[in-house]
Amino acid sequence: MSETLDSLQNSLSDILPQLGSIIGQFFSQLAGIVGYFFSSFTDGSLSFGQIYTGIIRWVMPLLALHILITVLRSMLRVRNPKETWGYLLSPDLGKFSINHWECTVGRAKHCDVRIKLATVSKTQCALIRNDEGEWRIHNLSDKNITCLNGEELTEDRPLRHGDTVTIGGADLRFEAITELEYQQNTARRIRKSKPLPPWTSFVYITVFQFLTVIQLFISKPEIRQETAISYGILCAVMWIYVLVSRSMGKTGFEPEILAFFACSLNLAITATALQNAMYKQTISILLGILLFTALGLYLRDLDRVIKTRHFMAAAAIVLLLIIAVTVGIDYACRYIFLNMFKRLAKRTRNQWDDLIVERKIINKLMHMIPAILVYVLLPLAFPVDETPKILGILQMICKIYIIAVSLRFISASLNVVHEIYNRKESLKNKPLKGFIQLLQVAVFFIGFILIISILIGKSPTTLFAGLGASAAILMLVFKDTLLGFVAGIQLSANDMLRPGDWITMEKYGANGTVIEVTLNAVKVKNFDNTITTIPPYALVSDAFQNWRGMSESPGRRIKRSINIDMNSVSFCTPEMLAKFRKISLLTDYIDEKEKELNAYNEAHRIDDSIRVNGRRQTNIGVFRAYLVNYLKSLPEVSKELTCMVRQLQPTETGIPIELYFFSSVKDWVPYEGIQSDVFDHVLAVIPEFGLSVFQNVSGSDLRGLKNSEITKKCCLP
């Protein structure tokens, strides 16, 4: 004994230092990691996403492990105590206990009540108890006869206390337990088989889903909408299932916990590997939950399960074969035929086949082939004579799926047609999207009617006839769509509006470019990048301004006037004319104009000693001539369109001199720059002609007048 203790002490003395070293290294590394994260967080070198990802890598596995441990703990906690629910008594064979609600009787070892007689089948019969305490007996053997009270058992019959069951020549009297024994069994079962409450596990799964969504938001921002919707649907369905099941008296949720946890992991893997399949995976999960619930409800009725067990097994095998064939054909269609079409599209010069490949039109069409095949092969798994209801339901689902796939294919094809026409120069500016949308609405409306007719089992013509009687209501419901369609026809026929046009409509605050023309709306992107939506019929009934003519013309009009102070207008003196001759744009004009005026005055013998006699040049006239020559000299001013400078009606604010010309540059920002440059020059050159711009008296003018010498002299006493 002492030697053993000594060896143990020596071993501990060797192990403890090593164990202490290992623990010390672990904590030092942990401290280093914590210090790294703390320093990185404080100096800003790590973002929130990096910190969250680093933490979640440890939290998520621990949370998943906790969920699994909780489920295993609940499963191990459940006990199935041995219970006695009745007896089979035989004077020769003895007393047999019935320990289950579903009890099999036969010669085989797997039977609950084993009768070792050669005349007894391996599985002779079954005794089944329902929730109300009623027993029924079922014959399971085709070779040996089972009798109840001396009568051959051809179908399941009630089994009552004191009835005699005869199998293999042996008589067995059935005795049910007493009420006291029933209460004892119930109390023992509740005491030993009470599972853990499921709320904690489902809360942990919800937290796991929430943390996963945040991580996917950080790592996969392009699929945030798909992630939020998919996990939101899964979480809602999970809690609805739990609450409904709990209200129905269900206590154990271990399979459901594992299933919902696996579904959460499945969505996370799908979001990482196949981002485009999030919605498809969510629908598959929902179908699986629905199938699980339906099978659970179906299997609760043991009588029904026993009657249909052979048929269900055969149907399952045939369905697996159908699924295998369908998957094979789907693979062949999508990966063989589709690849052939892609190679053929690359060899052709047409754009439409390349567009079909890009928009995956063939892929959508291929989804229809497996559904048609399943619809044709379903009668092999579910014969019409045996299971007409199941066959009808499954074929109805196939029909609805085929219609849905067809609608998706037609809609995608119409979009491709619209895109092909947009690539043509002659049709790309036509508002064709409204017509495409109308066709899509009509197609989906017909598809919806067909689906409704399949669900209610009526002919589509009956529904269409009923809809014809309610045409007034339909017109009221689809009023905006119909008005938009008619307005779209008018806009297209009269060429009033095209995508890309610049329009102005003050009533709706629109001032920008038309980006889309649909059945219900015309979208205008304003110059401040806001979007204005206008009903199409408003463009027909109300006035709007379309700048397309300006865009297609050689230039964009500039029309602006400057008010000249009338007191500054005067005749030109020789000194002024000599000064104006030095202006390169006026040299030729001054000489030619002087020759014209001198010739006129000499012809009419004008006395030029008085300046009002005859014709003379004025500073404002020379200024107008300068402006005309200046505008014509600018390269940005269109030479093909009108260019003039005119004098308007004098007003109390002076003489308006209007510049009317066209800019060859039509883009808004350069256009405004050209206009500003011209008038900057005009305002700066006006004093050179002895003119002044009219301007109302301001506060600074009054303050200057107050401080002037004239005002001071006038104010002296």
pLDDT tens digits for 483-532? Answer: 766 776 666 666 677 777 888 888 888 888 888 777 677 888 888 888 88
Q: Is the pLDDT of residue 713 over 60?
A: no
pLDDT in tens, 45-85: 556 667 777 777 777 788 888 888 877 777 666 556 677 88
Query: Are the C-beta atoms of 195 and 76 separated by less than 8 Å?
Result: no
Across 598-603, average pLDDT: 84
Structure tokens of 438?
């109308």
Task: For residues 595 and 405, give the distance between their C-alpha atoms in angstroms, rounded to a whole number.
Answer: 88
Q: How far is CA 588 from CA 122, 533, 643, in A?
A: 129, 56, 19
In 3D, which of 106, 105, 87 has the Cα closest to residue 95?
Answer: 87
pLDDT in tens, 642-699: 889 999 999 888 899 999 988 888 887 888 888 899 999 999 999 988 898 888 776 6
Structure tokens of 280?
């498809």
Name which of 22-26, 458-462, 675-679 the model is least confident about: 22-26
Opening angle at CA 685, ends 680 and 690, nearest 5: 145
Q: Tell me the backbone φ, ψ of residue 518, rounded to 5 degrees.
A: -120, -175
Structure tokens of 583?
């202006």
Task: Give Cα 648 distance to the centre of its chain.
Answer: 60
Other CB atoms closer than 10 Å to residue 618's CB: what's the count? Answer: 16
Name which of 100-104, 297-301, 684-688, 704-708 the model is least confident about: 704-708
Structure tokens of 260?
């919902």
- The amino acid that residue 42 corresponds to is T
Q: What is the pLDDT of residue 294?
A: 77
Task: Calculate what percentage of the chain has a pLDDT beyond 70.
Answer: 71
Name which of 30-39, 134-143, 319-328, 557-566 the model is least confident about: 30-39
Across 539-543, average pLDDT: 78
Across 343-372, average pLDDT: 68
pLDDT in tens, 639-655: 888 889 999 999 888 89
Name which of 284-288, 353-357, 494-498, 580-584 the model is least confident about: 353-357
Q: What is the pLDDT of residue 557?
A: 85
Q: What is the pTM of this model?
A: 0.42
DSSP state of 457: T
Q: What is the pLDDT of residue 544?
A: 83
Across 525-540, average pLDDT: 83
Q: Is the pLDDT of residue 385 over 60?
A: yes
Q: Is the pLDDT of residue 297 over 70?
A: yes
Q: What is the pLDDT of residue 656?
A: 92
Query: Are the C-beta atoms of 499 and 517 separated by less than 8 Å?
Result: yes
Q: How far is CA 637 from CA 14, 120, 623, 674, 711, in A?
A: 99, 113, 19, 9, 48
Task: For residues 20 and 498, give the distance between their C-alpha atoms in angstroms, rounded to a whole number.
Answer: 81
Q: Would you call 524 helix, strand, or coil by DSSP?
A: strand
Q: What is the pLDDT of residue 304?
A: 66
- pLDDT band at 265; cut points 50, 70, 90: confident
Task: Give kind and range of the element (H or E) at residue 228.
Answer: helix 224-247
- The amino acid that residue 636 corresponds to is E
Q: For the chain, what is the mean pLDDT?
A: 77
Q: What is the pLDDT of residue 716?
A: 45
In 3D, which of 303, 325, 329 has the Cα closest to residue 381?
Answer: 325
Burial of 16 (0-12, 13-18, 19+ CB in 10 A): exposed
Residues 6+ apart with CB under 8 A from 501: 513, 514, 546, 547, 548, 551
Exposure on the CB side of residue 190, measured as CA atoms within 13 A: 6
Across 179-192, average pLDDT: 70
Structure tokens of 553?
């013309």
Q: Is the pLDDT of residue 11 over 60?
A: no
Query: Are the C-beta atoms of 550 and 556 separated by less than 8 Å?
Result: yes
Q: What is the pLDDT of residue 354?
A: 63
Which of 74-78, 122-126, 384-388, 543-547 tops mean pLDDT?
122-126
pLDDT in tens, 422-456: 666 555 555 566 677 777 777 887 888 888 888 87
Q: How far is CA 103 from CA 85, 202, 711, in A?
A: 10, 35, 126
Sheet-wide strand order for 94-98: 94-98, 86-90, 170-176, 164-167, 146-148, 151-152
Q: What is the pLDDT of residue 20?
A: 58
Which of 216-220, 305-309, 648-652 tops mean pLDDT?
648-652
Query: Are the C-beta atoms of 537 and 647 separated by less than 8 Å?
Result: no
Across 220-242, average pLDDT: 86
Task: For residues 716 and 687, give the distance between their C-alpha atoms in angstroms, rounded to a whole number.
Answer: 35
